[in-house]
Structure 1
Amino acid sequence: MSLPGHGRYDYVPITERADYSWPGGARLAVYIGLNLEHFAFGEGLGAELAPGGPQPDILNYAWRDYGNRVGAFRMLEMFDALRLPASVLANSAMYDYAPQLMAAWRARGDEVVGHGRTNAERQSTLSEADERTLIADATAAITAAEGTPPQGWLSPWIAESRVTPDLLHEAGYTYTLNWCMDDQPVWMRTRSGRILSIPYPQEANDIPAIVARKDGAAQFADTLIDTFDEMLEQSRAQPLVMGIALHPYLVGQPHRLRQLRRALTHIAAPRPEVWITRAGEISRYCHDQPEGLIP
């Protein structure tokens, strides 16, 4: 029986791969993906605190907007205190809507990763031409504001069409965060070359945990700590990547922020085996390695 496949990468068990280390001999690379998102008012997609009623859905729109007005600034203060870098996964609409917020994260020297135009839309439902335009629009806005084009991409809602990796490579992107199939970076084939897949979490991620599974603040913090501690042990055998996916309208809420601080304080404690970094630095390191080392 032959099932339809994607042809993007081969099956290679993690126990049968070449060994290597991260810079300085570290074994576990950790990055934080901070999602800064803007949503349409009265239409389109959006995460929900409670089941939404007819549009305009004031409750959920305002709850999400709290993240840009308050939560993200509280998180910035915490990241500064813990000296944590961030990969800022930004809707390009954020530059017009919340320029002070984008400037605040830019001032830290953080990387901006393409995250579509707005999370009120999915690129997977578009034609190839329209999807190409979406990617071009987001890329142009980030490039104009940051002075350099983004190297990484996370699709809104992690929604891909059958040609998304091809379009990203053709637009100059060197890595994608869309695929969660591994704990190591993996090369993916496109129709014009290859693009690196860097692990992006769907478990150490506040949306599935808090919105979908209804985990409490302390439970989500424990998930991050347990994931980190277990992966640190596992990394003795293979170099691994732990991503942490955060949304300010969720974990920027006061009761969740306090628990998140507990988890990140544990993760940020200096350890020679741990490389706390940004997704783009992981990508650059992998691109510099000899052919065949990265699966």
Structure 2
Amino acid sequence: MLRRNDRFVYSPITQRPDFTWPDGKRLAVHLCLNMEHFAYNEGLGISYSPGIPHPNSYNWGWREYGNRVGVWRLIELFDDFELPVSVLLNSAVYEHCPQVTDAFHNRGYEIVGHGRSNSEHQNDFSEEEERRLIAEATELMTRHEGRAPKGWLSPGVNPSDVTPDLLQEAGYSYILDWPVDDQPVWMKTRAGHLLSVPYPHEINDIPFVALHHGQPDAFARAIVDNFDEMLEQSRKQSLVFGISIHTFLIGQPFRLRAFRQAISHITAHRKDIWLTTTGAIADHYAGLFPAPEH
């Protein structure tokens, strides 16, 4: 017998109750900015120079560029287009570069839990170690933001078998780890349900650029094509389109220029779509379709 994932009930997207997003919109669009901090000379992390022994200033410096330069260029772009933003935040960023988290807070960006650092992955920990990781990151975000985060993306998108259970027990209402659908989906946990909000693993600069070496124009074209196709599809079912970017990738000038063109295309359709955050999507959907009782 194949091992089963019983957290989700199978449901064809063509056989579900119809609904709309606020103001009758059919396509919700969210932008996720991954804001990450990495340990120096140890731990995990995407690499542009694999095989080079430590100390490796190249890899650490490439990622750190995103915190020193890339994020500020992206904030300028978000300001230009008046975009709502969901920040997937390593809690270590609060200490490492507080000016950045202050800028997020002052603009009202949604802060989504993203572990302590992308130098560690949750599926490497015991259940008790992972519980402590979630608690530590959550406490730090709550203290700085004045409210607890509602959503979570595991560092490296590497949840453990019990991550949904631990998040639900810690008070989280949604998770971004599961690329299973174009609509939110309730998933089972051992103490209730957790909402899985669509998070892109295709329209995402890590696999597209860093792993598959996609060029800036190709990534921008993929964003536009995916948006245009989903806008048409949303006439039949209301959908969620997400874009995931990292400060050290799209924050590079030659990638930012092409990305800006893609965002300009999307915002030209502002009257046709709901530009929003992952948390607002979760809240609206849960209001329409509450969690199952069993």
Provide TM-score, normalisation by structure 2.
0.97
State the one-letter code of the partner of 2:33: L
Show the counterpart of 2:106: 107
Pairing of 1:119-158 with structure 2 (within 5 A): 119-158=118-157
Deviations 1:144-169 (Å, cap 9, x if unpaired)?
10000000000001111111100000
Worse-superposed segment, 234-243 or 270-279: 270-279
Distance 1:90 1:218 in 2: 27
What amino acid is aligned across from residue 174 of structure 2 in structure 1?
A: Y
User: 1:210 maps to what in 2?
Assistant: 209
| Counterpart in the other structure of 1:225 | 224
CA RMSD in angstroms, aligned pairs only: 1.2
Task: Give the letter for the 2:255 counterpart.
Answer: R
The equivalent of 2:90 in structure 1 is 91
Residue of structure 1 in register with 2:59 after alignment: 60
Tell me if structure 1 keeps the 8 A contact 2:92–2:116: yes
Q: Is the 8 Å Cα contact of residues 52 and 60 (structure 1) preserved in structure 2?
A: no
* Structure 2 residue identity aligned to 1:280: G
- Separation in 2 of the partners of 1:52 and 1:65? 19
Structure 1 unaligned regions, length at least 5: none
Structure 2 CA distance for aligned equivalents of residues 142 and 171 of structure 1 = 13
The equivalences for 1:158-237 within 5 A come to 158-237=157-236
- Please say which of residues 79-88 and 47-56 is displaced more in the overlay: 47-56
Aligned to 2:115: 116
Give the conservation status (yes or no) of the 8 Å contact 2:74–2:247.
yes
CA distance in 2, matches of 1:288, 1:175: 13
The 5-angstrom pairing of residues 235-246 of structure 1 reads: 235-246=234-245
Determine helix, strand or coil for the equivalent of 2:248.
helix
Q: Which residue of 2 aligns with 1:282?
A: 281
Deviation at 1:292, TM superposition (A): 8.0
The DSSP-based 3-state class of the residue aligned with 2:206 is helix
Q: Quote how far apart the aligned CAs of 1:35 are.
A: 0.3
The residue number in structure 2 matching 1:25 is 24
Shift of 1:47: 1.1
Displacement of 1:290 in angstroms is 4.0
Shift of 1:289: 1.2
> SS of the residue aligned with 1:250?
coil
Give the match's secondary structure for 1:183. Answer: coil
Task: Indicate if the aligned counterparts of 2:32 and 2:88 stay in contact, CA closer than 8 A.
Answer: yes
Deviation string, structure 1 residues 246-284 (Cα, Å, up to 9, x no partner): 001000000000011000111112443310000000011
Match of 2:44 in 1: 45
Is the Cα contact below 8 Å between 1:25 and 1:273 reproduced in 2? no
What CA distance in whole angstroms lies between the structure 2 residues aligned with 1:146 and 1:292? 27
Change (3 A) 1:95 1:18: same
Aligned to 2:104, the other structure's residue is in SS state: helix
Instruction: Provide the residue aligned with 2:265 in structure 1.
Output: 266
Counterpart of 2:103, as a letter, is A
AA paired with 1:169? Q
Which amino acid in the other structure matches residue 31 of structure 1?
Answer: H
2: CA distance between counterparts of 1:151 and 1:39?
24
DSSP-derived class of the 1:72 partner: helix
Identity %: 52
Question: Could you give the per-residue CA deviations for residues 11-31 of structure 1, whole angstroms, max 9, x where no partner exists?
Answer: 111111111000000000000
Larger mean CA deviation between 175-184 and 42-51 belongs to 42-51
Residue pair 1:153, 1:177 contacting (<8 A) in 2 also: yes
2-structure distance, mates of 1:151, 1:119:
19
One-letter amino acid of the counterpart of residue 63, structure 2: R
Determine the structure 2 residue equivalent to 1:76.
75
Q: CA deviation at 1:125?
A: 1.1
Distance 1:122 1:25, change over 3 A: same
Asked whether the 8 Å contact 2:193–2:291 carries over to 1, the reply is: no
In structure 1, how many angstroms separate the alpha carbons of the residues matched to 2:189 and 2:82?
Answer: 37
Alpha-carbon offset, residue 52 of structure 1: 4.4
